[in-house]
């Protein structure tokens, strides 16, 4: 079965985003497997701190990490306010059960779990105890967490589960304790990273270059007018070049129709940069809030053009709002400041009442990979596509391919050189770096 993405939330903070394999998906509930070493996004906290001990409302950017424990099998019973975890060592020995009291929402392949702090640990011989009671009590009544009435319901849910433990009833009857994942199950990829949402009250969304957004010849119409016309034609490329091709250097954007009455979620898939190993953008996907039009577009995808990775960053938002953005001083600097602490340099700004997203670049990856932009053919495809029956805008940056060595261009052959021998005791290759488990 296809993997799902497990989002763990405490209060108003995403603690972790982890991929999980679906073991069973029935009317009775969802059974998931998280493998040891799975790649995850984890909230970056002060050294030694736990999210439960920090006040809500803090800024905790997500960083790429790994699942640090043994494997976990997670049962999410349908309609229940809890999940049961079978925990294992890395050698796949059963360690015990963990009952997570929670609320959750499943949307397609995303499962959003809001942790309710109070938990229950259960040993293999079914000795159980409450966990985090003091922290649960301290959060009760806080507007970000739960009311006193809700707290009573959370504890009652735990007591019902504890009764199953004492009766050795399912899921505490030994079922799944000998679970072994098939050897063919490879580790999943790092899941998509949510970047927040944007709004497009004009009904037209634009993804374009931030550094050239204010570049317009005297007498030209505002860029929003070009964008509205392109969106009305089914979506397309807007640029300041001649009628056919965009200029080598200049403003470029892609415009599409989008829902005017709801936030539009944005997420990104990443791949390690071949230059510094940091996560780098590979796919940017924006949900447009509109159903996919099979009659107009067929099965998709529909090519809309391509965009270079502007070294000053990219900007995503309402077409008319970006006219106002172009008129302010230093728009690219504002975007860089907004995204300075984000792993993908993503930051949101409010412009003319619209939520606009800026996207920057990791300096190591961009300075080596994208420095040529369109002048050197470094423009990447933008398409209108579908996901779960909804229209999405996708910008795909393919894996990096190192340029081949240029041949000698002189009319004579390169001088022959004898290879030099290595000094005595030198190694032929550098030792591999130890894996960082932090």
Given a cut of 60, whether residue 418 has pLDDT beyond it is: no
What one-character-per-residue DSSP string does 44-77 give?
Answer: ---TT--GGGSPTT----EEEEE--SS-EEEEEE
Question: pLDDT band at 334, cuts 50/70/90?
Answer: confident
The residue assigned the tokens 């073991």 is 23
User: Parallel, antiparallel, or unpaired for β 110-122 and 4-10?
Assistant: parallel
Given a cut of 50, whether residue 435 has pLDDT beyond it is: no
Question: pLDDT band at 377, cuts 50/70/90?
Answer: confident
pLDDT in tens, 155-174: 999 999 999 999 999 999 99
Question: pLDDT band at 249, cuts 50/70/90?
Answer: confident
Lowest-confidence pick of 45-49, 57-61, 97-101, 332-336: 332-336
pLDDT in tens, 9-63: 999 899 999 999 999 999 999 999 999 999 999 998 888 888 888 888 777 889 9
Tell me how far apart the alpha carbons of residues 328 and 197 are, in angstroms, rounded to a whole number. 22
Give the per-residue pLDDT at 416.
Answer: 36
Angle (CA) 331-373-392 rounded to 5° is 70
Give the per-residue pLDDT at 428.
Answer: 27
Taking residues 192-217, report their average pLDDT. 88
Give the per-residue pLDDT at 329.
Answer: 63
Locate the DSSP E strands across 228-330.
236-239, 252-257, 264-272, 279-291, 302-308, 314-318
User: Parallel, antiparallel, or unpaired for β 193-198 and 236-239?
Assistant: unpaired
Give the per-residue pLDDT at 372.
Answer: 67
Give the per-residue pLDDT at 376.
Answer: 77
Give the per-residue pLDDT at 211.
Answer: 80
Q: The whole model's pTM is what?
A: 0.80
Residues 6+ apart with CB under 8 A from 438: none
pLDDT in tens, 275-318: 888 888 899 999 999 999 988 888 889 999 999 988 888 999 99
What one-character-per-residue DSSP string does 341-371 give?
Answer: TSTT-EEEEEETTEEEEEE---HHHHHHHST
Taking residues 231-236, report their average pLDDT. 94
Q: Across-strand partners of 314?
A: 209, 359
Give the per-residue pLDDT at 432.
Answer: 24
């Amino acid at each position: 079965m296809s993997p799902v993405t497990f989002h763990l939330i405490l209060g108003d903070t995403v603690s972790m985003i982890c991929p999980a394999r679906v073991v069973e998906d029935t009317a009775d509930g969802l059974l998931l497997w998280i493998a040891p070493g799975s790649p995850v996004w984890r909230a970056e906290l002060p050294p030694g701190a736990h999210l439960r001990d920090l006040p809500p409302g803090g800024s905790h950017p997500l960083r790429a990490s790994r699942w640090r424990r043994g494997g976990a099998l997670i049962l999410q019973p349908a309609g229940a306010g809890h999940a049961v975890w079978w925990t294992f060592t890395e050698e796949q020995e059963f360690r015990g059960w963990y009952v997570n009291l929670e609320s959750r929402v499943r949307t397609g392949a995303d499962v959003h779990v809001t942790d309710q702090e109070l938990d229950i640990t259960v040993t293999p011989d079914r000795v159980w105890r409450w966990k985090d009671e003091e922290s649960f009590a301290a959060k009760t009544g806080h507007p970000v967490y739960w009311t006193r009435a809700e707290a009573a319901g959370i504890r009652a849910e735990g007591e019902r589960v504890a009764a199953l433990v004492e009766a050795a009833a399912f899921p505490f009857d030994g079922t799944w304790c000998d679970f072994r994942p098939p050897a063919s199950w490879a580790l999943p990829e790092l899941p998509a990273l949510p970047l927040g949402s944007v709004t497009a009250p004009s009904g037209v969304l634009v993804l374009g270059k931030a550094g050239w957004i204010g570049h317009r010849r005297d007498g030209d119409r505002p860029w929003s007018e070009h964008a509205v016309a392109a969106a009305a034609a089914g979506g397309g490329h807007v640029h300041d070049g001649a009628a056919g091709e965009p200029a080598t250097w200049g403003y470029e954007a892609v415009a599409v129709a989008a829902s005017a009455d709801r936030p539009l979620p944005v997420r990104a898939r990443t791949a390690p940069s071949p230059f510094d190993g940091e996560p780098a953008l590979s796919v940017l996907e924006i949900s447009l809030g509109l159903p996919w039009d099979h009659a107009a577009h067929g099965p998709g995808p529909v090519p809309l053009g391509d965009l270079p990775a502007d070294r000053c960053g990219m900007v995503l938002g309402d077409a008319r709002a970006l006219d106002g953005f172009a008129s302010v001083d230093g728009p690219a600097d504002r975007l860089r400041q907004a995204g300075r602490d984000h792993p993908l340099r993503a930051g949101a700004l409010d412009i003319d009442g619209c939520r606009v997203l800026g996207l920057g670049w990791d300096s190591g990856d961009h300075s080596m990979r994208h420095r040529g932009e369109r002048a050197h053919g470094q423009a990447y495809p933008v398409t209108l596509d579908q996901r779960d029956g909804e229209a999405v805008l996708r910008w795909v940056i393919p894996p990096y391919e190192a340029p081949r060595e240029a041949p000698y261009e002189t009319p004579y052959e390169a001088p022959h050189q004898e290879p030099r021998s290595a000094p005595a005791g030198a190694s032929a290759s550098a030792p591999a770096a130890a894996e960082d488990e932090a």
